[in-house]
Amino acid sequence: MLDFIEKYQSEIDAYVIANSEELENFRLKFLSKKGVISTLFQQFKEISPEKKKETGLRLNRLKESANHKYENQKGILSSSENFIARDLTLPAEPIPLGARHPVSLIRKEIVTAFSKIGFTVAEGPEIEDDWHVFTGLNFPVEHPARDMQDTFFIEKNPDIVLRTHTSSVQVRVMETLSPPIRKIFPGRVFRNEAISARAHCIFHQIEGLYIDRNVSFADLKQTLMFFAREMFGEKTQIRLRPSFFPFTEPSAEMDVSCTICGGSGCNVCKYTGYLEILGCGMVDPNVLEASSIDSKEYTGFAFGMGLERIAMLKYQVNDLRLYFENDIRFLKQFTSAY
């Protein structure tokens, strides 16, 4: 009998009671008429007189501790239940807030900046034919960008590729709309490059296209100036350097005054005071004609920029791979009103 008492004592001590159902189970098992303790008291009558004293003492202690535990837990449960029932103003479980991906934030900012001057968004497919990625954009047959080094080919002859730039959407838009055209094209692009801190085989671009009568290089410059100041602040200066793209003539690359030092020179701008952010130019007449737009009546400009590059400058993140790893510790740091 003493062994039983000891066993039940440790069971009572270890018993976990978290709600009123468990409390009732405890009562039924130990304290009810047919419960363990009551049964032990029945058996107590039959044990030999010399063992009665010690057994009786222990049995009473068992009963006391079961009662004590029962009353104690009952008190705790009823006060917490009452508390919940009474205080309806308690806050709900907090819902963890997500954050937008930095590339989405930058895309949204750029789209918003251009929408203020009348540009609307258009999109095109990521899997493209040769015409929209290269030929319709005046790429000569032997141009190195068509090389296996840069382009992911899905099929050969006729070529189906993953687009290497969002300029392909220019061609699609010119084929379907007639001027005036004022559009921007955000999208994902693909290049067969080794992945490093500065390059990735997948990245994002935003392309812009404006075609109308009498569009000049001055319009391009003014548009980009507006954009740079919306994006990087009112004091931002821009600088255009001559460049080359098959689909624009003349072509240029645009730098903005360094977003960190403001132009005085620091290690981000490598002490040049400027950061390169996009390529641009006047749409080559061959490109207009390839999409059946009369190049004598219409002129236009185009520009294209990499979103990860702008995000790197804006957020001071110097490893491109972080934008693709989806490490929650990185992503959590970007909050926004959007």
Query: 62 or 313, CB closer to ligand PHE?
Result: 313
Per-residue mark of binding to ligand PHE, 263-302 (x: CB under 6 A): ----------------xxx--------------------x
Contact flag: residue 167 with ligand PHE (CB under 6 A): yes
β-bridge pairing 120-121 and 181-190: parallel
Contact flag: residue 165 with ligand PHE (CB under 6 A): yes
Find all residues with CB under 8 Å of 57, minimum gap 6, and list them. none
Contact flag: residue 257 with ligand PHE (CB under 6 A): no
Contact flag: residue 248 with ligand PHE (CB under 6 A): yes
Contact flag: residue 187 with ligand PHE (CB under 6 A): no
What are 271's two structure tokens? Answer: 């002490």
What are 154's two structure tokens? Answer: 């899905």
State the number of binding residues for ligand PHE (CB under 6 A). 11
Give me the residues paired with residue 154 across strands: none
- Rounded Cα distance between 163 and 202, Å, is 10
Please report the sign of the dihedral spanned by the C-alpha atoms of residue 152, residue 155, residue 156, residue 157: negative
Cβ pair 285, 220 in contact under 8 A: no
Q: What angle do CA 162, 167, 169 make, to 5 degrees?
A: 80
Only one residue has tokens 């050969």, namely 156
Closest approach of ligand PHE to the CB of residue 281, in Å: 5
Among positions 86-115, residues that touch ligand PHE (CB under 6 A) are none
Contact flag: residue 245 with ligand PHE (CB under 6 A): yes
Contact flag: residue 174 with ligand PHE (CB under 6 A): no
- In 3-state terms, what secondary structure has residue 40? helix
Closest approach of ligand PHE to the CB of residue 96, in Å: 38
- Rounded Cα distance between 101 and 332, Å, is 9
Closest approach of ligand PHE to the CB of residue 150, in Å: 10
Contact flag: residue 323 with ligand PHE (CB under 6 A): no
Q: Which residues bind ligand PHE (CB under 6 A)?
A: 165, 167, 207, 245, 248, 279-281, 302-304
